[in-house]
Amino acid sequence: MVRLFEAEARRQARLIQAYAVEEIGQFLLFTVGFLVLSGLFEIIARGELASTVVLASAVGFLAWRTADGYMLRTVSTLADDAAWGTLEQLILSPISILGSMVIRGAIVLVFYTLEACLIGLVVFPLLGAWPTLSWAALIVFLIMQTGIWGVALVLAGLHMVYKQIASVTVAVSTALLFLTGALAPLDNVPLLASVARVLPLTVGIEMLRDLMVYRTTVPVNDVFWLVGTTAFYVAVGWSVLTWALRAAQRAGSLAHY
Amino acid sequence: MTETALDVHDLAKTYPNGVQAVAGISFEVRTGEILALLGPNGSGKTTTVKMVAGLVLPSRGSAEVMGLNVLKRRTDAMRHLGAVLEGARNVYWQLTARENLRYFGSLRGVPRRQLESRIDDLLTDVGLAAEQHRPVGQFSRGMQQKLAIAAALLHDPEVLLLDEPTLGLDVPAARALEENIARLASERGKAVLLTTHTMPLAERLAHRVLVIRRGETVAYDTTARLLAAHNSHADVTDILVSGELSPDLLSTLRNEFPHVETGQTNGSTQITWRDAQQAEILGLLNWLDGQNLAIANVGRRQPTLEEVFMTLTQEAH
């Protein structure tokens, strides 16, 4: 099993190397993008610069950016394989497609977490504020990203059947930025706040802010809620991908793109 | 001692849109044997290969690789199966040849200690050892195809599926690949299921031939017996005429002798007539003479697999 992670890590690293310019472009886009967005949101929301608020925004944004890259890459890695003709070769291996997605998900998450750390290393000194790192925050982060993996499985499954759903993936990701309170807490919009709690990032981001910015404990109910919604998204993703694989095999469309 | 490596029984596929691609075909491939699956476009060859690989779900029937059902015991069956599908689209173009083989070797469970030496052997076998550190995107199509075959052989499977392996290759590359495939069966004992539109390739390589049309079996026999069966009641007459015929004359020829096939190259005209009686040939020669055409050569020969294939698939109309 370790070998499979190693092989996937090497493959992803090679792909990133092959598309290095695009990766650097993404890094710059999201770094500069956050600075622009956070400044604008500050002015709109409060009319003054408060470092705790901006730090909360940065933590939410970085959690979202990790999820955004993670979700897009997890879906595109399957879509690319269909386009390159390697998807059928993956399915011909003794590893199940779900097993492959677990391995890919883990490697891609490591990559985007590292990217988020790099963005943080640029952004936090500029803001003059640093978040507090803790094991609890890491665990919350991993649980919420696992929920995102579940969403990615749904989208990857839909791609297997319906093809060309990249725009849907981008739309979902963008919606998560604004609907989960990633940039600014949703406290002032109660209706949206309660609806947003079912989304995979919302509660996780709130917990990360409690742990990393406000340095408070997190409510136990929120922990159960986060674990529950994550389990739900993983279960749905797993089911959709399994169904999609059967549907694509029935339609003979695995290699279509 | 040969054994059945691939056993296909009553395999059928009707797609959800109602198109019946395969109507129920059965065949087997033994160790060390090459079976050519032949058929016109849309006859169900690729669907058959993909059902055998478990990539397309059959409507009915079964495929067993080394006695393992590819759907019910997929994980075990896949350890005995390698496939090259869809031309050169089987490997990652951004990775080097060696990186591709490392990746697929890990995926297919080749033990770590054996993998590097296995990669060395395969790269040497397919003649890519000198190019192993180049990204595959820089390879020619023939090289990509060779690498795809090497990747399919990493876990040393008993059964190899090759879907149109020489498609798009130039003659030298196709010949080199053909030699590789022949060696895989004769020296390594692989059971090879091969689809191709290149009949001379199938005739040279295949021990047995399965011809399908609209998903149904038209002929299934050893290549030698299939050719012999058609030799007994059919042969081919080739007439070479000096000079090219005018379009009007060609049209008249086809009206007078509707069963002939014609081709014009290098200032001469080739006229081919299958299954013609002697009197009919004499009639044609007299007609050509009457048109003041110089007959350079007349010969009778046994039909090729391509001609047998044409006869079989046309008879099935």
Is the Cβ pair B104, A89 closer than 8 Å?
yes
Is the Cβ pair B53, A93 closer than 8 Å?
no
Q: What is the pLDDT of residue A76?
A: 87
**Taking a C-beta distance cutoff of 8 angstroms, is the pair A244, A97 a contact?**
no
CA angle B290, B295, B298 (to 5 degrees): 120
Task: Give the rounded percent of residues in chain A with a pLDDT score beyond 90.
Answer: 34
pLDDT band for position A36 (50/70/90)? Answer: confident
Would you say residue B232 has pLDDT above 70? no
Give dist(CA A130, CA A208) in Å, integer.
13
Give dist(CA A144, CA A68) in Å, integer.
12
Q: What is the pLDDT of residue B87?
A: 58
Q: What is the pLDDT of residue A137?
A: 94
Instruction: Find the helix or strand (DSSP H, E) in which B6 lies.
Output: strand B4-14
Would you say residue B246 has pLDDT above 80? yes
Q: What is the pLDDT of residue A41?
A: 59
| B12-27 tens-digit pLDDT | 999 998 889 999 999 9
Mutate to test the interface with B, among A89, A93, A96, A253 (most CBs of B within 10 A): A89
**Taking a C-beta distance cutoff of 8 angstroms, is the pair A149, A241 a contact?**
no
Q: What is the pLDDT of residue A255?
A: 76
Q: In chain B, where does the domain assigned CATH 3.40.50.300 lie?
A: 4-229
Give dist(CA A212, CA A140) in Å, integer.
11
Q: Is the CATH number 3.20.20.140 carried by domain B4-229?
A: no
Q: What is the pLDDT of residue B1?
A: 52
**Complex ipTM above 0.85?**
no
Which residues on adjacent β-strands are paired with residue B263?
A: B270
Is the Cβ pair A86, B79 closer than 8 Å?
no
- CATH number belonging to domain B236-301: 3.30.70.3400
Closest-CA residue of A relative to B109 is: A94
What is Dmax (Cα atoms) for chain B?
A: 76
Q: What is the pLDDT of residue B88?
A: 57
Q: What is the pLDDT of residue A47?
A: 54
Return the top range by mean pLDDT from A85-94, A186-195, B95-104: B95-104
3-state secondary structure of B93: coil
| B181-231 tens-digit pLDDT | 999 899 989 999 999 888 888 889 999 999 999 889 998 988 888 887 776
pTM of this structure: 0.80
**Which whole number is the average pLDDT over B86-107?**
86
Q: Cβ contacts (< 8 Å) between A4 and chain B: which residues?
A: 106-107
Q: What is the pLDDT of residue A238?
A: 95
Q: In chain B, where does the domain assigned CATH 3.30.70.3400 lie?
A: 236-301
With CA atoms as reference, report the closest residue to A103 among A30, A180, A7: A7
| B250-263 tens-digit pLDDT | 889 989 898 888 88
Return the top range by mean pLDDT from A22-26, A70-74, A150-154, B272-276: A150-154
